Amino acid sequence: MAGRVAVVVVVLLTAIAIWQTRGTGPDLSRVAVVRSPAGVMGTTCTLVAVVPAGREAMAQRGLEAAERELREVDALMSTYLESSELSAINRAAAGEVVPVSTQLRSVLRFSREVWQASNGAFDATCRPMIDLWRRAGRAGRLPLDDDIAAARSRSSWEDFEQLAGGVRKGRQSARLDLGGVAKGYGIDRAFDVLSAAGCDGVLVDVGGDVRVGGCDARGERWMITVRDPFGDRRLTDFALDAGAVCTSGNYERYVEIGGVRYSHIIDPRTGHPVDRLPSVTVLAADAVTADAWATALGVLGAEGLGLLPPSVEALIVEGDENSCRIHADEAMEQRLGTLPAPPCEVDR
Ligand code: AMP
Ligand code: MG
C-alpha cells in the first residue's frame, strides 16, 4: 500500500512471481499495450492489454481505467493513508458507525470468511500486533510477553459489526489491516475493468502478484514464473490462460531487531511473527483469494494445505537456504508434472 515505512520495512525480493511471454514466431495480428504506472500500492505495477492491431487507443483507455481502479482501492483500504476508509474505522470510537464503500464492505466480508476457513491464521483484525512489532523494530527492542498478550486481546472479529449504514466497532481498541488481501482485491478490480474493455488478453501485475486472462500477444497462454526465494532465479513455471498467482514471502519484508529478521506476517495464535516459511505461492481463480490464502499459508505452512478451498492450489518452500523442502497440494503437483528440486539443494 502507499508510503511504506522504509526504516522498518525492507524490500528484499521485489517480484517473486513474474510473467513472461513465449512463443516461436511473431503473430502480427495482435499487439500488447503495456502501462507501468509508478507509485501504485507502494510497489511495482505492470498492466498489459492484448488487442487486435489497430485497437491500441481502446487498450490505452482500458489501461488508464484499470490504473484508476488500483489507486481507488488503495485510497480506500490503505493503513498508510489517514484519509482511507480503513483508517477511519481504526480511529473510530466504540459505537460510532463509519460509512464504508461497497468495495471495503466486500473485502471485509471476504476477509472474515478466510479467517474462519483458515482457522484464524488469516486475521485482518491483527493490526495491534502488527503495530507492536513495527514499534519494536523502530526501538530495536523485542516486545515484552505482556505487551504481546495485550496486543492480542485488543482486536478481534467480534468487535466489528457490519450494518446497513457502515461498520461499527464494539471497542475503541479494535483495528483492521488489509495488507494481506487488498492488493489482490485491487488486481481483480483492475482485471475486470480491463477485460470489459474488450481485450483478447489481460495481465495485471502488482508487486509480483498477477492475474491473467486470455492470451499473450502471440496468441499463447501466459507463462508464470515462480522465483527461487533464496536467489534471483527461476524455481518453476507454468502456463496459464485464466487465474491469479500471489506469493507471500517471510524474507520479502521484515523488521530487524538485534540483528535478527522478523517477518511482517504475524501468527495471530501467538502474537509473534512467523519464522518458518520463506515462500508461499498460491494459484486461484481470482487474486483476492490467492492473496489471502498466500498470507494464511505463510502462517500455517504445509499443514494448512488441507484447508485450501476447492480449486485453490499452492506451492510452498519451507525452511531456509541451508535446509529446505518443497510442498504442494495434489492439484499443483499435477500441474507442474514433477515438483521442482528444493532450491537449497541446487548448486548455486
Ligand atoms: P502478504 O504480503 O500478502 O502476505 O501480506 C502481508 C501483510 O498482511 C502484512 O504486511 C500485514 O499488513 C498483514 N498481515 C500480517 N499478518 C497477517 C495475518 N496473520 N493475517 C492477515 N493479515 C496479516
Ligand atoms: Mg496476501
The string of pLDDT tens digits covering residues 86-95 is 999 999 999 9
Residue 126 CB–ligand 1 contact under 6 Å: yes
Q: Hey, which of 79, 262, 295 would you mutate to test ligand 1's pocket, going by the most ligand atoms within 8 Å of its Cβ? A: 295
Percent of the chain whose pLDDT exceeds 70: 90
Architecture of domain 77-169: Orthogonal Bundle (1.10)
Residue 129 CB–ligand 1 contact under 6 Å: no
How crowded is the C-beta side of 240, counted as CA atoms within 13 Å? 27
Checking if the pLDDT of 267 tops 80, the result is: yes
Residue 130 CB–ligand 1 contact under 6 Å: yes
Ligand lying closest to the C-alpha of residue 254: 1
Checking if the pLDDT of 276 tops 90, the result is: no
Those residues with Cβ within 8 angstroms of residue 167's Cβ, 6 or more apart along the chain or in another chain: 89, 97, 98, 100, 105, 108, 160, 161
Closest CA to 176 of 97, 249, 122, 252: 122
- The domain locations on the chain are 77-169
Closest CA to 18 of 44, 54, 57, 53: 44
* Mean pLDDT value across residues 68-75: 98
Residue 324 CB–ligand 1 contact under 6 Å: no
Q: Which helix (H) or strand (E) holds 313?
A: strand 313-319
Residue whose CA is at the smallest distance from ligand 1 atom 12? 179
Q: Separation of 129 CA from ligand 1 center, angstroms? A: 11
Residue whose CA is at the smallest distance from ligand 1 atom 2? 248
* Mean pLDDT value across residues 23-40: 83
Q: Separation of 123 CA from ligand 1 center, angstroms? A: 8
The string of pLDDT tens digits covering residues 281-327 is 999 999 999 999 999 999 999 999 999 999 999 999 998 888 899 99
Q: Would you give the DSSP letter of residue 321?
A: S
- CA 79, CA 82: separation in Å to the nearest integer? 7
How crowded is the C-beta side of 61, counted as CA atoms within 13 Å? 7
The string of pLDDT tens digits covering residues 182-202 is 999 999 999 999 999 999 999
Closest CA to 320 of 233, 258, 228: 228
Percent of the chain whose pLDDT exceeds 90: 82
pLDDT, position 347: 52
Cell numbers found for residue 150: 495485550
The string of pLDDT tens digits covering residues 134-190 is 999 999 999 999 999 999 999 999 999 999 999 999 999 999 999 999 999 999 999
Phi-psi region of 259 (alpha: psi -120 to 50; beta: other; left: phi over 0): left
Q: Would you give the DSSP letter of residue 51?
A: E
Residue 273 CB–ligand 1 contact under 6 Å: no
Q: Separation of 46 CA from ligand 1 center, angstroms? A: 22
Residue 288 CB–ligand 1 contact under 6 Å: no
Reported pTM? 0.92
pLDDT, position 275: 83
- CA 176, CA 170: separation in Å to the nearest integer? 13
pLDDT, position 5: 28
- CA 136, CA 132: separation in Å to the nearest integer? 6
Atom number in ligand 1 closest to CA 267:
19
Residue whose CA is at the smallest distance from ligand 1 atom 15? 265
